[in-house]
Amino acid sequence: MIDYQALYNMLLDAKADAWVKLLPQQIAQAFDTVRHGDLAQWVSLLHSVPELPAGHGRFLNTPAIQIGHSYDLADNISGQLERQLRALHPWRKGPYQLFGIHIDTEWRSDMKWDRLSNHITPLQHRLVLDVGCGNGYHCWRMLGAGAKMVVGIDPMLLNVMQFQVVKKLYGEAPVYVLPLGIEDVPYGLKAFDTVFSMGVLYHRRSPIDHLIELRDCLRAGGELVLETLVIDGGLGEILVPEGRYAKMRNVWFLPSCGTLMSWLKRCGFVNIRLIDVTATRIDEQRSTEWMRFHSLQDFLDLQNPQLTCEGLPAPKRAIIIANSA
């Protein structure tokens, strides 16, 4: 369906042989059209996306990932491409500017990138893993920052197909999004220079296990970039929602920053530093014509935006950087 041979070759060079042995079967299972009723339609859509002219502009260091310009396409081709992109609704991470078509995604993911990009170890020539990467917006930003190869993993097939359409428009590049979760990465791989986990930890029933999984993806001295929901409070304080949190069912643990940093220390990370804490605003996460479902504004208390609609502290996100020992 999708040729991953170049990825396998680069992983072999990175001494990630244990994963290369598993990947073909893992990918085949994930792309099983019997298990996912919409997959055949999405694959057909991907194949029908037009082959566009080579040599068009590609810009990865701008807020919107930009590929080509509106004047590169005839009106009928542009209209066809926009219909194909809209058929992959909802678009959650971005934004993208694809041959003049502006995909105004639910998340202004560039804001998160701006909060962390000047604090991380430069990505030049590094092997990068992005866990829970969505449609790969940040993977493209990592490539634009000089990464040697970026591997994103996300179990949502719609996200993977959105990425594949963008990559088809971009052309060949050492960036991949696989339809997998962190549990599909072999224990003790220790192959990546930098691992990102952004917006994942609070969805895990065992946050400690997730931190250990991330640690075991990193080479010795490698860097973890962790972004997650937090609460105000001191060491040891944690919010465990009894039901939904901001209408999300699968939110398990929201620690204070001190608690989160202590978890990282207990899991063997060193050089742990908090670089940012930011309350999520409705100009960063919102409904758009490319994501027409409810978003942050609908998840907050109508009378007090400092609270969720369940009466819990409104979303606040921290970014922590740490190194594997």
The pLDDT tens digits of the residues spanning 269-301 come to 999 999 999 999 999 999 999 999 999 999 999
Residue-wise pLDDT for 237-253, tens only, equals 999 999 999 999 999 99
DSSP secondary structure string for all residues of 105-140:
-SEEHHHHHHHHTTTSPP-TT-EEEEET-TTSHHHH
Domains of the chain: 5-324 (3.40.50.150)
55 pLDDT higher than 80: no
Residue-wise pLDDT for 75-114, tens only, equals 999 999 999 999 999 999 999 999 999 999 999 999 999 9
pLDDT for res 35: 84
DSSP label at residue 33: T
pLDDT for res 130: 98
Which regions of 1-126 does DSSP assign to beta strands (E)?
Answer: 58-59, 65-67, 93-94, 96-98, 101-103, 107-108
Coil, helix or strand at residue 19: helix
